[in-house]
Amino acid sequence: MEEEESLRVVRCGGSELNFRRAVFSADSKYIFCVSGDFVKVYSTATEECVHILHGHSKLVTGVQPNPNNHLQLYSCSLDGTIKLWDYLDGILIKTFVVGHKLHALFTVAHAEDSVFVTINKEKPDVFQLVSVKLPKSSSQEIEAKEVSFVLDYINQSPKCIAFGNEGEYVAAARDFYLSVYFFKKKTTSRFTLSSSKNKKHAKNDFTCVACHPKEDCIASGHRDGKIRLWRNFDDDKKYTYTCLHWHHDMVMDLAFSVTGTSLLSGGRESVLVEWRDATEKNKEFLPRLGATIEHISVSPAGDLFCTSHSDNKIIVIHRNLEASAIIQGLVKDRNIFTGLLIDPRTSALVLNGKPGHLQFYSLQSDKQLYNLDIIQQEYINDSDLIQIELTKAAFDCQGNWLATVEQRQEKETELELQMKLWAYNKKTQGFVLNTRVGMPHEDHITALCFCKAEKSENPTLVTASKDGHFKVWILTDDSDIYRKAFGWTCDFVGSYHKYQATNCCFSEDGSLLAVSFEEIVTIWDSETWELKCTFCQRAGKIRHLCFGRLTCSKYLLGATENDFLCCWNLLSCELEWSTKLNVKVMETDPNSENIAAIAQSSVGSDLFVFKPSEPRPLYIQKTISREEVHWGVFVPRDVPESFTSEAYQWLNRSQFYFLTKSQSLLTFSAKSPEEKLTPTSKQLLAEESLPTTPFYFILGKHRQQQDETLNDSSGNELVQLPLTENIPAISELLHTPAHVLPSASFLCSMFINSLLLSKETKSAEEIPDDVDMEEERKSDDSDEENDFTEKIQDTDTIDLGEDILHQLSKSEEKELRKLRKVDYSWIAAL
Amino acid sequence: MAGYKPVAIQTYPILGEKITQDTLYWNNYKTPVQIKEFGAVSKVDFSPQPPYNYAVTASSRIHIYGRYSQEPIKTFSRFKDTAYCATFRQDGKLLVAGSEDGGVQLFDISGRAPLRQFEGHTKAVHTVDFTADKYHVVSGADDYTVKLWDIPNSKAILTFKEHSDYVRCGCASKLNPDLFVTGSYDHTVKMFDTRTNESVISVEHGQPVESVLLFPSGGLLVSAGGRYVKVWDMLKGGQLLVSLKNHHKTVTCLYLSSSGQRLLSGSLDRKVKIYSTASYKVVHSFDYAASILSLALAHEDETIVVGMTNGILSVKHRKSEAKKDASSRKRRPAYRTFIKGKNYTKQRDDISITRPSKKHLELYDRDLKNFRISKALDRVLEPEITIKTPEITVSIIKELNRRGVLANALAGRDEKELSRILNFLIRNLSQPRFAPVLINVAEIIIDIYLPVIGQSPVVDKKFLLLQGLVEKEIDYQRELLETLGMMEMLFATTTTKESTFLLEHKSDGLLGKKIES
């Protein structure tokens, strides 16, 4: 096992899908979007990821279809290369090495062998639009150094550059300027918004630009929510513009429809606006898309639009403004308050998702399973508003209960708190709100934990709060003769000298509860809620607290703010050991005694895996990430791995995931990168799951009818040859390549034998029976068409083997007998 | 992608007694009518036939009352001593009663003098009843005997001497003319069959039996004695089904509601408890002024009559149900509109199109959906919402605050609208569950309307009222805090006492040890 030698930190959980505009294929069947170092190909009908094109070594910044071959795709990346792909097979065709960091890619239909890219030279904030000639060559990797300069001082974002009227001109916007470069005249016109000159804090700077596909018209979006339509811009003096205003916040993206009759715009309101005929009156809306619209794109065929949203989602929208598909990645829009949780039922990762929602994300299939609406209130998309935040969540050990805490604090004294308890409903396979507790505590809730003991008959929840109390909540039966009702009620309130309760944690068997009050750890008996003992190390407030598991269940671990990690022995009530370590994350493995601690150092974050009973850590990895690690979690593996080396044994039964400050989800992998890649065999599946089109209905029905008539006629003939497809020998013969087959003379007898009727003549009887079944079903369906069904019934009687014998003439009977005799002799001879 | 989410209206638990179907049903009676009798009311019995008169046995008289009359419509007073257990026959024409001197008398309702007199008991007869065939009377007496009388020739047919103490209660089966049960102070309840000359089943209640009751089907027997009500399954040969102990004094009477779903028991502890006969849980209870001796329900539970030891008869009539106007109801679409196409089965080539169901939104939600904030606030400030469901108003105000538009919605109002908001504040500001939201509203209003203060005497008055309210509330809070402080001090002293006591105890132990050593 060579690859075991190094344990690598790998990114998982998908990257942003909304980094750049998604691009449709020519037939609108597929949609391409950049995602980290990859280009992902999704089916627009099934939302399935068909291919992941990997080859770039750095962030992919642009993707465009090849205008000369609509089965090919260009992509550019920060690694300085442009790659040409065949997206149907997922094959890299060519690589063009440009050399500079490429920030955006544009293709124009008439410029056959060149593409346009955005590069930055020297200064970090100065970008140039250049055209790159792609040399024709048969080799895989080609140097493309022939770069010609087009426009200088442009915006980095590709949204601010648009090619108009089949590539006659290019419009680029930056700050308060709109520059238009005409390729034929080779001149640049520059327009400035009049109001921006005198006002210092004018909000009407450009955010995006789009060009009309047929006419000389440029649409520009502005930060104040206005859309300007520029005309006659080939003349510096006579240019005009008209204003469209609906958005109250920044216009994030604009797109013209293929024919140019309508303009689409979107922004923070998360409403897609369609402006018909470029007039203010004719507007259509598609509201409540969930999050800020970042990009809008239009399919070349004109039947679909798609919007990319800030919550890592792509919505495919039909021409009549109906959403038809949603491609959802891991939502990383906002702060993660809940930490990483594991749903015990689906073993999905659970964390904050859309505003007010919990997202359930399957790590195995890298796909969002569903969103659970916790707050259940209309989300108002406004940057100034203080929203209700979902701050805490916890599952019980079987996944039957979910507890969530939400809060909203407008002023120091006005805190709105709500705790909700959700029961898992087996029928609907989802969580249903059971109990809502308004203001469970008087101050912020700092910790929330369920008693995880398997045997406990009554679920118990503990909340710790800054108001100095911890509360124990139990499920109580409130049912009477009228209805069945279960609800959660407060069972016990504990405090310790008015200190703030900061953490709470149950022991593995549920017999002890540890609650930390600032610097002091208190141990409570969970039967009687008596204070058993206290530990105090005077080493700062307790940041993390956890019990050891399995053989180490007599230890309690606490990490403090003054960089101490302490381990107490619960039997002797003494400090077992302590060490100086700035622990940011401490997680216990549910399947073993191991505890993972991530410590913050000046360089980055370090991982320590240890058993509480042993003085030496099992595994240390320095600088797993340069950033601060905020959360971590052990995910039990479905199939245990078998790492033999001592250092990796802690990964055998569980996998460790962690989330950094910039919200990238990382994990450890011992496999080489090639092995980790998913095979592209999914493609076939996706093709099959494509929806049935009207053509399928017509052709498919026709084919079925043909089959039926065929069966009918064969039924009339009575002696039916077995269908050749059903015999394995024949199919094997037909599907084996000719050069590996034995000689034809050898195969002949075998082949003939396989065509003969078997002894029981089973197939001959069974097949007509099946037909009968179908016919009967059909006759049930069509009661009105009486004459038709009668006809079918006629054929029914003919089909039945036994009945026929009575109806057959004697001569035919004789023939039949003869035939049977012949059959038997054949079989006997064999 | 989901549709508009309506505003979550904060609901608050209703404190006090839980409202259930039973509480609604049993509270739906008018205030009781009190009738004073001459002595303790030992028995109340309703005539099974309309007009459902009832016979009240108290002291040496039997009064017959009409359903709604407060004066007796008839009186039987030919008793030398106390009368007991006046009971109607099934047809409501005859009445039988026992008496202290051991006689049993049979009366015609229309007559005055007794039709028959059954002589034979030597001591007081406390229980009498008609058998199901209407021609016999069963009586139990303090001479420990139970007798079966023939009405036509007024002779005792059978005498059972199985009880070993007073026989104080009995009940004949409504289905079988040969079966009846009696309960006695010898703690037993016995079921007799007139065909066998002896008891067929005997159950041990454990306390002197005060009342027995047979279910209409005859399968279940209920006995009351001591503090217990016990239910026996007669079909299983007298097996105890359930034992109920919900009273804290002797249970004196039992009755079954007309539906047979509820069992009522009255007790000397002045309570009537109502049990569900499915689960035998108490679903409701009534309180009375004195110890209860007898209890009866009229046909269809229309009237509850309770007789008490102080001679008061309490009569409660059911409230007549308000008839709903048929005319005021909206005309609905015809029935065939609903059944149209209901049994249409999908054909093969059909493409079914489902129309998305339209979600019903409240008017204020519709306004909020369209960002008409002032209008939404106006709607929830309508008097019918502010008075009946202030939590809706508060929830909408909270939602407006969450959207950051509360000041906009409150601004620009005239005298009338402003006084409406101030009225709402005055009414609800001091309620702790609304206070955090409404204090914020009050602050915003003061900020907005401070420049125009003094222009309207109506609004100024309201402001002053509000100010007074806030001052009163502050005073009240201060008082509460003071009380809390006092209580804390008291608690502190008690705990220190305990600890000092502990210390003393310890020192004692130490001393003891020292002495030992």
Q: Does residue A727 surpass a pLDDT of 70?
A: no
> Which residues does chain B have within 8 Å of residue A270's beta carbon, measured at their own beta carbons?
none
Distance of CA B313 to CAs A344, B70, B284, Å?
65, 10, 21
Which pLDDT tens digit goes with each residue over A511-539? Answer: 899 999 988 999 999 888 889 889 888 77
pLDDT of residue B97: 93
Bond from prior residue into B114 cis (ω within 30 degrees of 0): no
Please indicate if any CB of chain B lies within 8 Å of the CB of A125.
Answer: no
pLDDT band (50, 70, 90) for residue B180: very high
E-state strands within A258-292: 262-267, 272-276, 283-286
Cα separation, A696 vs B263, in Å, equals 68
Phi/psi for A137 (5° steps) reads: -160, 155
Specify which residues B298 forms β-bridges with.
none
pLDDT of residue B124: 93
Nearest CA distance, A286 vs chain B (angstrom): 10
pLDDT of residue A787: 44
Closest CA to A546 of A580, A582, A584, A507: A507
Token pair of A379, please?
Answer: 């989300």
Nearest CA distance, A781 vs chain B (angstrom): 7
Q: Quickly tell me which residue has 């990645």 as its tokens.
A: A329
Nearest CB to B4 within list A378, A410, A781: A378
Q: Is there a contact between A481 and B279 if contact means CB atoms under 8 Å apart? A: yes
Cα separation, A606 vs A584, in Å, equals 10
CB-based contact A270:A291 (threshold 8 Å): yes
pLDDT of residue B326: 55
Q: Is there a contact between A289 and B4 if contact means CB atoms under 8 Å apart? A: no
pLDDT of residue A698: 61
CB-based contact A328:A40 (threshold 8 Å): no
Burial of A800 (0-12, 13-18, 19+ CB in 10 A): middle
Q: Does residue B37 surpass a pLDDT of 70?
A: yes
- Within B143-246, residue ranges assigned H as helices are none
CA A21, A25, A29, A34 dihedral sign is: negative
A689 against B297, higher pLDDT: B297
Query: What residues have CB less than 8 Å from A713, skipping those under 6 apart?
Result: none
Any idea of the CA torsion for A745, A747, A752, A754, to the nearest 10 degrees? 170
CB-based contact A659:A631 (threshold 8 Å): yes
pLDDT band (50, 70, 90) for residue A790: very low
Q: Is there a contact between A480 and B281 if contact means CB atoms under 8 Å apart? A: yes
Task: Taking residues A227-236, report their average pLDDT.
Answer: 85
Q: Is there a contact between A481 and B278 if contact means CB atoms under 8 Å apart? A: yes
Helix, strand, coil percentages (3-state) for chain A, rounded to 5, are 15, 40, 40
State the pTM of this model: 0.71
pLDDT of residue B219: 87
Q: Does residue B276 surpass a pLDDT of 70?
A: yes
Instruction: Give the chain B residue whose CA is nearest to the CA of A439.
Output: B433
Nearest CA distance, A285 vs chain B (angstrom): 13
Closest CA to A491 of A531, A521, A528, A516: A528
Q: Is there a contact between A377 and B399 if contact means CB atoms under 8 Å apart? A: yes
- Give ∠ CA B138-B140-B143 in degrees, rounded to 5: 140
Cα separation, B258 vs A168, in Å, equals 94
pLDDT band (50, 70, 90) for residue A825: low
Closest CA to A250 of A271, A269, A277: A269
> Which residues does chain A have within 8 Å of residue B402's beta carbon, measured at their own beta carbons?
377, 380, 385-386, 388, 408
Measured from the Cβ of residue B173, the count of other Cβ atoms closer than 10 Å reads 21
Specify which residues A514 forms β-bridges with.
A505, A523
pLDDT of residue B163: 92
Closest CA to A581 of A611, A595, A561: A561
Which pLDDT tens digit goes with each residue over A168-202? Answer: 889 998 888 888 888 888 888 888 876 555 555 67
Task: Taking residues B36-54, report their average pLDDT.
Answer: 90
Token pair of B118, please?
Answer: 């059954």
Q: Name the percent of chain B lying above pLDDT 70.
A: 93
Which pLDDT tens digit goes with each residue over B95-109? Answer: 999 999 889 999 998
pLDDT of residue A295: 93
Which pLDDT tens digit goes with each residue over B16-35? Answer: 777 788 888 888 899 999 99
Q: Give the best residue of A293, A313, A378, A381 to mutate against chain B (max B CB count within 10 A).
A: A378
Q: Quickly tell me which residue has 């920060």 as its tokens.
A: A78
Task: Taking residues A790-819, report their average pLDDT.
Answer: 54
Q: Is there a contact between A385 and B436 if contact means CB atoms under 8 Å apart? A: no
Where is A369: in which H helix or E strand?
strand A367-373
Cα separation, A664 vs B354, in Å, equals 41
pLDDT of residue B505: 46
Which pLDDT tens digit goes with each residue over A387-404? Answer: 888 999 999 888 889 999
Cα separation, A625 vs A604, in Å, equals 6
Q: Is there a contact between A289 and B368 if contact means CB atoms under 8 Å apart? A: no
> Which residues does chain B have within 8 Å of residue A410's beta carbon, measured at their own beta carbons?
401
> Which residues does chain A have within 8 Å of residue B364's beta carbon, measured at their own beta carbons?
none
> Which residues does chain B have within 8 Å of residue A326's beta carbon, measured at their own beta carbons?
1
Token pair of A49, please?
Answer: 């990821």
> Please, which residues 472-501 of chain A have a Cβ atom closer than 8 Å to chain B?
480-482
Task: Taking residues A451-464, report their average pLDDT.
Answer: 82
**Interface contacts (A, B; CB < 8 Å):** 52
Please indicate if any CB of chain B lies within 8 Å of the CB of A785.
Answer: no
Which pLDDT tens digit goes with each residue over B347-402? Answer: 878 877 777 777 888 899 999 988 899 999 999 999 888 888 899 999 999 999 98
Cα separation, A293 vs A350, in Å, equals 25
Task: Taking residues A498-523, report their average pLDDT.
Answer: 90
A478 against A462, higher pLDDT: A462
pLDDT of residue A829: 54
Nearest CB to B1 within list A290, A377, A386: A290
Q: Name the percent of chain A lying above pLDDT 90.
A: 16
Token pair of A381, please?
Answer: 């998309």
Task: Taking residues A110-132, report their average pLDDT.
Answer: 81
Q: Give the DSSP letter string of A31-78.
A: EEEEETTEEEEEETTT--EEEEEE--SS-EEEEEE-TT-TTEEEEEET
Cα separation, A645 vs A622, in Å, equals 19
A805 against A96, higher pLDDT: A96
Cα separation, A228 vs A263, in Å, equals 11
pLDDT band (50, 70, 90) for residue B517: very low
Closest CA to B127 of B147, B107, B150, B154: B147
pLDDT of residue A402: 93
Bridge-based pairing state of the strands A304-309 and A293-298: antiparallel
Average pLDDT, chain A: 80
Q: Does residue A786 surpass a pLDDT of 80?
A: no
pLDDT of residue B342: 73
CB-based contact A401:A424 (threshold 8 Å): yes
Phi/psi for A564 (5° steps) reads: -120, 140
Cα A391 to chain centroid distance, Å, stands at: 23
pLDDT band (50, 70, 90) for residue A820: low
Name the residue type at position A679: P
Q: Is there a contact between A315 and B1 if contact means CB atoms under 8 Å apart? A: yes
Q: Is there a contact between A380 and B278 if contact means CB atoms under 8 Å apart? A: no
Instruction: Give the chain A residue whose CA is nearest to the CA of B368.
Output: A378
Per DSSP, A289 falls in state -
CB-based contact B17:B23 (threshold 8 Å): yes
- Give ∠ CA B16-B19-B24 in degrees, rounded to 5: 125
Nearest CA distance, B224 vs chain A (angstrom): 24
Nearest CA distance, B378 vs chain A (angstrom): 20
pLDDT of residue A227: 92
pLDDT of residue B256: 92
CA B19, B21, B23, B29 dihedral sign is: positive
The C-alpha R_g of chain A, in whole angstroms, comes to 35
Any idea of the CA torsion for A574, A577, A583, A585, to the nearest 10 degrees? -70
Average pLDDT, chain B: 87
Any idea of the CA torsion for A772, A778, A783, A784, to the nearest 10 degrees? -120
Instruction: Give the chain B residue whose CA is nearest to the CA of A408.
Output: B402
Cα separation, A50 vs A60, in Å, equals 18
pLDDT of residue A332: 74
Instruction: Give the chain B residue whose CA is nearest to the CA of A288.
Output: B1
Instruction: Give the chain A residue whose CA is nearest to the CA of B398.
Output: A416
Nearest CB to B5 within list A326, A378, A386: A378
SS3 call for A558:
strand
Q: Quickly tell me which residue has 């809306």 as its tokens.
A: A285
CB-based contact A596:A617 (threshold 8 Å): no
E-state strands within B39-165: 41-46, 54-58, 61-65, 72-76, 83-88, 94-99, 104-108, 114-118, 125-130, 136-141, 146-150, 155-160
Which pLDDT tens digit goes with each residue over B181-229? Answer: 999 999 999 999 999 888 899 999 999 999 999 998 888 999 999 999 9
Q: Please, how many CA atoms are within 13 Å of residue B117, restricted to the half-sphere of its CB?
A: 9
Q: Is there a contact between A377 and B5 if contact means CB atoms under 8 Å apart? A: yes
CB-based contact A75:A56 (threshold 8 Å): yes
CB-based contact A81:A96 (threshold 8 Å): yes
Name the residue type at position B99: S
**ipTM, 2 dp:** 0.70
CB-based contact A489:A473 (threshold 8 Å): yes
Nearest CA distance, B242 vs chain A (angstrom): 17
Nearest CA distance, A63 vs chain B (angstrom): 27
Bridge-based pairing state of the strands A141-143 and A91-97: parallel
Q: Is there a contact between A288 and B2 if contact means CB atoms under 8 Å apart? A: yes
Q: Is there a contact between B281 and A388 if contact means CB atoms under 8 Å apart? A: no
Q: Does residue A819 surpass a pLDDT of 50?
A: yes
Nearest CA distance, A413 vs chain B (angstrom): 9
Cα separation, B8 vs A376, in Å, equals 8
Please indicate if any CB of chain B lies within 8 Å of the CB of A771.
Answer: no
CB-based contact A143:A133 (threshold 8 Å): no
CA B320, B321, B326, B329 dihedral sign is: positive
Measured from the Cβ of residue A66, the count of other Cβ atoms closer than 10 Å reads 18
Q: Does residue B511 surpass a pLDDT of 50?
A: no
Q: Does residue A4 surpass a pLDDT of 50?
A: no
Q: Does residue A447 surpass a pLDDT of 60?
A: yes
Phi/psi for B394 (5° steps) reads: -65, -40
Residues of B engaging A, defined by a Cβ cutoff of 8 Å: 1-8, 10, 18, 20-21, 276, 278-279, 281, 283, 347-348, 368-369, 399, 401-404, 436, 440
Instruction: Give the chain B residue whose CA is nearest to the CA of A414.
Output: B436
pLDDT band (50, 70, 90) for residue B433: confident
Bridge-based pairing state of the strands A389-395 and B146-150: unpaired
Any idea of the CA torsion for B490, B491, B492, B496, to the nearest 10 degrees? 110
Q: Is there a contact between A377 and B402 if contact means CB atoms under 8 Å apart? A: yes
Closest CA to A295 of A34, A37, A117: A34
Instruction: Give the chain B residue whose CA is nearest to the CA of A387.
Output: B402
Nearest CB to B8 within list A377, A384, A480: A377
Q: Is there a contact between B440 and A377 if contact means CB atoms under 8 Å apart? A: no
Least confidently predicted of A150-159, A298-307, A395-404, A417-426: A150-159
Burial code of A196-217, b = ≥16 C-beta within 10 A, e = fewer?
A: beeeeeeebbbbbbbbbeeebb
> Which residues does chain B have within 8 Å of residue A315's beta carbon, measured at their own beta carbons?
1
pLDDT of residue A685: 42
